[in-house]
């Protein structure tokens, strides 16, 4: 009986350790960025990226910006998006809840190697900044005719 209790003690602590790891994974499945350019969920502003054989489209969701406050730049396959979100209007001085982000932000994204940075175009409409890059002609798929 005493031998089984001492064996159980070591196993019991291992079981508690396993249970603790499982609970941590359950409550916090995302442990944070996995690379130097990755950002945690909830980073501001939210961004969606899509691509096709002809282009790459980036959608930045940042409502309430002044079009003139948005700064876009590219350098060595990096796209930087920055702006300043105006503070809340004076009538909200005694606000009880503020969920809207205010202040300056800047996000940097790594672009694919096959895009043409000179082809960039951007449109800001209804709180969404749409940035589009065409892919380099030599990187696009081509159909080869058979003679």
One domain, residues 14 and 61: no
One domain, residues 100 and 50: yes
Residue of 129 and 106 predicted with greater confidence: 129
Say if 39 falls within a structural domain: no
The model carries a pTM of 0.63
Per-residue pLDDT for 144 more than 80? yes
One domain, residues 54 and 126: yes
One domain, residues 17 and 74: no
Report the distance separating Cα 19 and Cα 107, nearest Å: 38
**Which positions ≥6 away from 58 have C-beta within 8 Å?**
47, 48, 49, 79, 109, 130, 131, 132, 133
Say if 36 falls within a structural domain: no
Going by pLDDT thresholds of 50, 70 and 90, the confidence category of residue 138 is: confident
Domain tally, the chain? 2
One domain, residues 68 and 113: yes
Q: What is the CATH number of the domain that holds 57?
A: 2.60.40.790
One domain, residues 75 and 4: no
Per-residue pLDDT for 78 more than 50? yes
pLDDT tens track for 44-77: 788 999 999 899 999 999 888 888 989 999 998 8
One domain, residues 134 and 80: yes
Boundaries of domain holding 112: 46-139
**Which positions ≥6 away from 55 have C-beta within 8 Å?**
115, 132, 133, 134, 135
One domain, residues 82 and 125: yes
One domain, residues 63 and 116: yes
One domain, residues 66 and 121: yes
One domain, residues 96 and 135: yes
Say if 91 falls within a structural domain: yes
One domain, residues 88 and 23: no
């Amino acid at each position: 009986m005493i031998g089984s209790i001492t064996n159980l003690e070591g196993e019991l602590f291992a079981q508690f350790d396993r249970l603790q790891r499982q609970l941590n994974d359950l409550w916090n499945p995302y442990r944070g960025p996995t690379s130097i350019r990755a950002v945690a969920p909830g980073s501001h502003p939210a961004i969606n990226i899509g691509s096709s054989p002809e282009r790459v489209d980036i959608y930045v969701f940042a409502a309430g910006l002044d079009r003139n406050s948005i700064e876009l730049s590219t350098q060595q396959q990096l796209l930087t998006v920055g702006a300043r979100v105006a503070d809340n209007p004076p009538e909200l001085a005694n606000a009880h809840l503020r969920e809207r982000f205010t202040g300056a932000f800047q996000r940097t994204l790594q672009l694919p190697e096959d895009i043409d940075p000179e082809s960039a175009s951007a449109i800001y409409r209804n709180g969404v900044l749409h940035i589009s890059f065409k892919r380099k002609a030599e990187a696009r798929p081509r159909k080869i005719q058979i003679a």
